[in-house]
Amino acid sequence: MFSYFPLCISDVYEVSTQDGLTLYIDKGDPSIQYITIDDFPVSKEKQPAGFMLLDIEKENLSNVSIADFSPFKGQIKMENDIVVQEAKQFDFYLKAFYIAYPNYIKIEGELTNLVDRERAIVLAYSLPFDAINGIWWDDIRNYKIIEEKKVYRGNNFYSPHFRKFSLRYNEYPFSAINIDDIGLSFAIRLDKPSIFG
């Protein structure tokens, strides 16, 4: 059974769907983001979240975890019912948009390289979700019970072009987890091809 965790909601922007999902973004620190489903908090504590960056030039990718990513902070404001974040990290400029729709929240970011040379980076978006003993869906038929200190990536495989970096990417453009009748899914747009992990 999913336990209730007290949640202190202070000075935040709220991005809400009509079916019970609310994303909270801290106005003072946009790297603090968390969600509720039907007003029910799904994270034990505030953990680093939101858009994050990993500079491949500076990291050994054989053992990367979310702790190796640097969160974008910057400024956040409301423009025409859309939450907009602007931030800089490692000479990259991020402009992100958080938009509520009736049954989903759209989160998109535009990343600009501020230096005149090619660079290799990984851009990630993360949200805390306390799902130990819940279900991780590898695809729409296969699932695993979520255990502590394990990484779940769905059906993924090594790219032969990036083997020395141990980079993997998923076959499907979505992920899904649930505990009891509370669930969350991340998905990417199919009209904007990209590698996703």
pLDDT at 119: 83
Q: What is the pLDDT of residue 88?
A: 92
- pLDDT at 99 (0 to 100): 95
pLDDT by residue, tens only, the chain of 197 residues: 344 444 455 689 999 999 999 999 999 999 889 888 888 888 766 677 899 988 776 655 556 667 778 889 999 999 999 999 999 988 999 999 999 999 999 999 899 999 988 888 888 888 887 888 888 888 788 888 988 877 766 555 555 555 555 555 566 667 788 888 887 877 777 776 665 55
- DSSP string covering the chain: -PPP------SEEEEE-TTSEEEEEESS-TTBEEEEETTEE--SS--B-EEEEEEGGG--GGG--GGGSEEP--EEEEETTEEEEEEEETTEEEEEEEEE-SS-EEEEEEEEE-SSS---EEEEEE-----TTSEEESSSS-EEE--TT----SSEEE-GGGGGGT-EEESSSEEEEEETTEEEEEE--TTS-----
Q: What is the pLDDT of residue 51?
A: 93
Q: Give phi and psi for 164, each to the nearest 5.
A: -70, -20
